[in-house]
Structure 1
């Protein structure tokens, strides 16, 4: 795939000297607001959301190639990032449509790719809840939606990062039953969105297994969904479905579990193009900020978050 000058420049901005994307994610909105409010015991102001994001950005970006932020509370933080770090901005509304089936996505009302680019974005990121097992009617809507976004990014000559997160209605996505189904969800999603018609430049994907159910893994919780060899084969199978660059997302697991999954991908010989690591690096600091304030959180980030 030949990259246009704008797309190439944007990808270089969010990659390190070796061409690897080692980015931090701080575009959480609804979930972060709820978590902070729960720890604080009262409502969370816009100023607090902006401060939390700014502290994470300031402390972590000297160690990252880029930061992913949202334009709702993240723009002040984007100005506090290290000079070496590029900027990805999220374009979707937080969460999904709960009024009907299919977890349908929506875009931020007052934003466009043009406006995000004017606000300083080097790349555009979209999150989509997706499963190949949904009805044709639901997935057709999602496919058309992604096609439109691909065209909008193409028209503005800016890289398009598509993040897809698997799910199954009525099933615990962290549980054993979904762990058995997860490889197929991840693999078929990668096979779909790697198609040129979507205009995706980088896929932001989940690891195709749940490490808690990999026999012999350090994260193993005692119930086996896959042997280590099967897990490695699934990493390879998912990678072979992709014809576009892809990076792994941390999906809210612990730092230790995410690191172990990356080690397994490496052992399997998977040539992934980097990581976008979010909650794994800062979520344990939420109570620190909520109860002890900004300075205590900064110190926590400098010791624990940077690890």
Structure 2
């Protein structure tokens, strides 16, 4: 990669000694509130979010190359992270307005790239929901939005991580067999689009191109892809971009995510790491709500660390190192 000296150094802050992005993600806001509320009938408070993010950061970042947080509830966690762990900060508002067609993106109104950099960020992350087949008027708004965001990051020499989550405007359930059949096209073609230089993206954070629950050998039910077909989609994904790209865990359990990475490698994928969230720390939420901070710390120090250690071992065998100047 050819980057400015400052951006190159910031990118190095986010990778491990082997050139792999082994990052921990806990920038969830709405999703984390729901996870906490499952065990707390009166609902999650802002302090609940702040405290759990802090516990995850102070306990697990010693074993991660970096952590992704949000500036709304995550700044205390950013300060609590291990000194060797880099910091990504999210720039998007959580969720989207379902009453408006197109899942249009929006920025946190009190933040800017300049302010996120001043808060200690080594990179900016932005989440975009995107349907490659949606009407042109909607997608052109998204294209212009990301162009502006890329330019803002470039002005401040900040690495720009773009998280892409695919959907189909005509299929309500993205976990369905119907959507699984079109997912490879949705994921790989949107990667092609946002790899164009005009967007200023440095790293793509993306889904795997198939729903593994419908892959031959991974399911006892409906099948959307043979192993051979699924492998071809992983290989095509790598060919769809010249940018470094990393996988998100999409909420699947740790075991399935690790199996997916092995399958990706065997298929010829050249992915460069992960930004892994719920697969690592989700089961600690119950301990936090029902048992308090010490119970959560105990879980994070044992099962949480085991999840990260196991994932790091898999990454060492499967991920392709990023080559920086």
TM range (shorter): over 0.9
CA contact under 8 A between 2:237 and 2:269: conserved in structure 1?
Answer: no
Query: Following the alignment from structure 1 to structure 2, what is the Cα–Cα distance between the partners of residues 306 and 227?
Result: 34
Query: Following the alignment from structure 2 to structure 1, what is the Cα–Cα distance between the partners of residues 4 and 125?
Result: 18
Q: Confirm or deny that 1:116 pairs with 2:140.
A: no
CA contact under 8 A between 1:213 and 1:225: conserved in structure 2?
Answer: yes
Q: Name the counterpart of 2:318.
A: none
| 1:13-52 mapped onto 2 (5 Å cutoff) | 13-52=13-52
- How far did 1:46 drift? 1.8
Q: Name the counterpart of 2:282.
A: 283
Q: Name the counterpart of 1:197.
A: 198
Q: Name the counterpart of 1:211.
A: 212
Q: Name the counterpart of 1:255.
A: 254
Q: What is the RMSD computed on CA atoms of the aligned residues?
A: 1.0
Q: Output one character per residue of 1:236-259: Cα deviation in whole Å (capped at 9) or x when no partner.
A: 001100111101110111111111
Q: Secondary structure at the match of 1:73?
A: coil
| 1:46-125 mapped onto 2 (5 Å cutoff) | 46-125=46-125
CA contact under 8 A between 1:40 and 1:287: conserved in structure 2?
Answer: no
Moved more, 1-10 or 248-257: 1-10
- How far did 1:19 drift? 1.0
Q: Name the counterpart of 2:225.
A: 226
Q: Name the counterpart of 2:291.
A: 292
Query: Following the alignment from structure 1 to structure 2, what is the Cα–Cα distance between the partners of residues 97 and 156?
Result: 29
Query: Following the alignment from structure 2 to structure 1, what is the Cα–Cα distance between the partners of residues 284 and 168?
Result: 30
Query: Following the alignment from structure 1 to structure 2, what is the Cα–Cα distance between the partners of residues 81 and 256?
Result: 26
Query: Following the alignment from structure 2 to structure 1, what is the Cα–Cα distance between the partners of residues 99 and 220?
Result: 35
Query: Following the alignment from structure 2 to structure 1, what is the Cα–Cα distance between the partners of residues 208 and 43?
Result: 34
CA contact under 8 A between 2:58 and 2:80: conserved in structure 1?
Answer: yes
Aligned pair in 2 of structure 1 residues 167, 221: CA closer, same or farther (>3 Å)?
farther
Q: Name the counterpart of 2:181.
A: 180
Aligned length: 305
Query: Following the alignment from structure 2 to structure 1, what is the Cα–Cα distance between the partners of residues 197 and 97?
Result: 27
Query: Following the alignment from structure 1 to structure 2, what is the Cα–Cα distance between the partners of residues 74 and 177?
Result: 36
Query: Following the alignment from structure 1 to structure 2, what is the Cα–Cα distance between the partners of residues 25 and 269?
Result: 25
Query: Following the alignment from structure 1 to structure 2, what is the Cα–Cα distance between the partners of residues 260 and 237?
Result: 19
TM-score with structure 1 length normalisation? 0.97
Q: Secondary structure at the match of 1:39?
A: coil
Query: Following the alignment from structure 1 to structure 2, what is the Cα–Cα distance between the partners of residues 239 and 89?
Result: 26
Return 5+ residue gaps in structure 1 as ranges: none
TM-score with structure 2 length normalisation? 0.92
Query: Following the alignment from structure 2 to structure 1, what is the Cα–Cα distance between the partners of residues 197 and 17?
Result: 27
- How far did 1:221 drift? 4.1
Query: Following the alignment from structure 2 to structure 1, what is the Cα–Cα distance between the partners of residues 167 and 288?
Result: 31
CA contact under 8 A between 2:50 and 2:76: conserved in structure 1?
Answer: yes
CA contact under 8 A between 1:253 and 1:279: conserved in structure 2?
Answer: yes
Q: Name the counterpart of 1:151.
A: 151
